[in-house]
A and B are shown apart, each in its own frame.
Chain A
């Protein structure tokens, strides 16, 4: 283990300088930011001592963009320019636009083939709106932390598909935040609880937030968190409870809300307040009154409230059962149930979940903060502040990934709940004589028909030499990285023709669009992109120098003399050029050093791999000797 610790700065730099990395819970309803300092996690507050920031952005004009609590006040008076629950829109494609237009108070228009919202600040994609929330969280963190923030762990629902994960990562990039890892929310919650107590066993994470429901079954064993199964519903949560209360009020009081989105928003707000109050009281009186006009008053009892929301709660229990089955636990007991999300404060939810699992759920950490707390712990670990930790969060891919075959059928290439990162290859062939091209259609989902799955990307492998049908061998490889993001490549084996795509799904922003967006956001903020680039590259150069320096100190003997000298020369070249302000040269020197260190990286990895296994085989040998 010690061998691989190349994150500790080498002797050439200040040796014990701690890096600061934050954890961000980018929620549907609320967002939080937390950081770990001197062994403790702190959820960061703004000037008003709030830690829970509504994920609401009000676009009053290009210059006036308001995020958080004050933006929420804007919602009732100007719903069309106040974006709430933007997380629900992440990763949506062009084909979703009609449904969105119908169900939300926003005006949508396609931008770069993505549904974007028409606001006073222009046409904005969900990614851009999320970036504004992230920017806000970053300013909160900057105000509280003296040190430079090196990076962030951002949480996503386990349920998020590839498009949604990519959209989240893009939002962070637009906001200028370097993402250390996207972390599944339930895993983060388990980190917040599980690692401190160190208990081994099966954990169920029940996460009922404002907009999403997730159930995850995790195994914690010898410092490893393993996701056994995930399930849930991407559009079920506290918002739906507000909605059923609103529907009840509207019906009871015969209110007409047609063409009055402000009134609808107001009733939803009152409903949310009533719901929250009913967690502690037996009844609540609701009086609907907007701009001096009264629409009537009703009393909602807890019993009536529970009747209204029971179907929603039962829906979550059904998903729990499915996840338990998927986890294939046999008779292993569930050690505990972690409750996450504001909606788990509702007594009925706690009661029903307790009944299903046969034990009371864990509620000792604030269910609104638990995900952010776990994210902050993980961020601290990943940035290298706990070099002796064995903790490793292993994830699985939440949905199967497949390819379209003849007749609109899906052939699964990576099944759901496969551990990631993973790469899988499968061979396909041509069905016509002389077929020169093959369309690769990448889909995500569990169903057998392409039309029932989500289309992620299309690309064509061209230049297949003429052959009879069935003679070509096209090897299609799907690779998923640690964040759950997919790359697909196709190779015709006989001719070596190949093509690949990073699945920036149907939704996809190209690299150029991304750079353009980053650039334009800087012109707005009167910042200097050139200057920021230079600073970033210098930081990158410094990191690389430290990392390779200490790698050479630790494992330099894996290289022969010539290789070692060559690597050290490239290292020195970067060290020199990084003292200057020449962006182009620095960038080039970084690339050269990275390239020169590839062989070394491979040697170090293979060395530690065989060490890990040799240790195990010796252990095992002695165990079996003892047994005999």
Chain B
């Protein structure tokens, strides 16, 4: 099947998607394609079901996450990801990352870490939300792939930072 992920899941091919339609369609497809519906079917049909379900689940996984969805859209437009994504050329972005990381590192030593962490977490959620909004606009106004990609990198960084926030939260909770 050479269908793209959007049409496979029956939603419009754009960044600003209807999440609930995506999830509802995914559910509907699972109801007809899941291998459990084919336990007594001929082996050919069982195999086909497993493969199709795997394809659909993977497409859903990519589309439901704004980072992977944005990257997938760039890829669809024929744009090639630069080789080493580690290098960030934007000094402003670099500074912001360093500062946020330092703040997070300090929280662990702070006298009231849980409170500080909650605050930081809320700030990060706000940043993430507005970055997704920015991506939405960039796609809408057909910004250059390079511009979009830079925005994706920032969002990716926030996602990773969120991961570290969760880790610290776990650590703090384990102390009780």
Contacts and interface: CB of A to CB of B under 8 A. Distances in A.
Interface stretch (B23-31, B90-98, B139-147): B23-31
Nearest to B174: A318
Contacts of A383: 39-40
Contacts of A480: 54
A602 B46 CA distance: 10
Interface in B28-61: 28-45, 48-55, 57-58, 60-61
Interface of B: 9-10, 21, 24-25, 27-45, 48-55, 57-58, 60-61, 166, 169-170, 173-174
Contact of A620 (B21, B49, B52, B173): B21
A597 B38 CA distance: 14
Given A383-B40, A593-B42, A609-B52, 7 more contacts: A325-B169, A418-B57, A424-B58, A482-B50, A594-B42, A594-B44, A613-B9
Interface string A171-183: 0000000001100
Nearest to B173: A321
Contacts of B24: 616
Interface of A: 1, 4, 6-7, 19, 151, 180-181, 222, 224, 318, 321-322, 325, 382-384, 390, 392-394, 418-424, 479-482, 543-544, 547-548, 551, 593-595, 597-598, 601-602, 604-605, 608-609, 611-613, 615-617, 620
A594 B45 CA distance: 9
B57 A419 contact: yes
Nearest to B20: A620
Contacts of A392: 30-31, 34, 36-37
A609 B21 CA distance: 16
6 contacts: A418-B61, A420-B57, A423-B51, A593-B42, A609-B29, A617-B10
B36 A601 contact: no
B77 to A, nearest CB: 19
A544 B61 CA distance: 34
B35 A421 contact: yes
B31 A602 contact: no
B45 A597 contact: yes
A222 B48 contact: no
Given A4-B32, A609-B32, A423 B58 contact: yes
Nearest to A602: B48
Contacts, number: 127
Given A382-B36, A482-B36, A615-B28, A421 B42 contact: no
B54 A613 contact: no
B51 to A, nearest CB: 7
A326 to B, nearest CB: 9
A547 B37 contact: no
A390 B21 contact: no
* Shortest Cβ-Cβ A-B pairs, 9 listed: A613-B10, A423-B54, A601-B45, A7-B40, A598-B44, A612-B28, A382-B39, A482-B35, A422-B57
Residue of B37, B49, B52 ringed by the most chain A CB atoms within 10 A: B37
A422 B54 contact: yes
A601 B44 contact: yes
A383 B40 CA distance: 6
Contact of B28 (A151, A601, A604, A616): A616
A393 B21 CA distance: 21
A446 B67 CA distance: 21
Contacts of B61: 418-419, 422
Contacts of A612: 25, 28-29, 31-32
Contacts of B49: 605
B14 to A, nearest CB: 16
Nearest to A617: B10
B40 A384 contact: yes
A95 B45 CA distance: 40
Contacts of A418: 57, 61
A7 B39 contact: yes
B45 A222 contact: no
